[in-house]
Amino acid sequence: MQTSTGHLVSTDYLAQFPPAVRDGYSIVPHRLEDDALSALGGRSEARVDLAGDSSLARWARRDRKKREAKLRRQGQRAARGVKRGRRR
């Protein structure tokens, strides 16, 4: 699922995408697989309303926040010149 847009795709359909596109998708956790399959309804792709109150929407919002925070931290480290690990 692409958590920024709510684009949900099956794993078979995702395998057809180029690797650069696949990187933008997160794997739905095992506990939400039934909800994801239900949302897909036998199709290869579907949209999830991220403003909704479904379990998939709640997970997508949390996952998106985590990804954005990680990118923000990486940007701050790059600005400070810290490559990896702790500063000395």
Query: In the block, which residue shows the tokens 């990118």?
Result: 71
Please write the tens of the pLDDT for every residue from 12-58: 999 999 998 998 899 999 999 999 999 999 999 999 999 999 999 99
Task: Give the Cβ contact number of residue 77 at 10 Å.
Answer: 13
User: Which residue from 57, 5, 62 is spatially nearest to 36, judged by alpha carbons?
Assistant: 57
DSSP conformation class of 17: S
Q: How far is C-alpha 10 from the chain's CA centre? A: 14
What are the structural domain ranges in the chain? 7-80
Q: Which band of pLDDT confidence, cut at 50, 70 and 90, is reported for residue 84?
A: low
pTM, full prediction: 0.75
Show Cβ contacts of residue 77 under 8 Å, excluding neighbours closer than 6 positions: 83
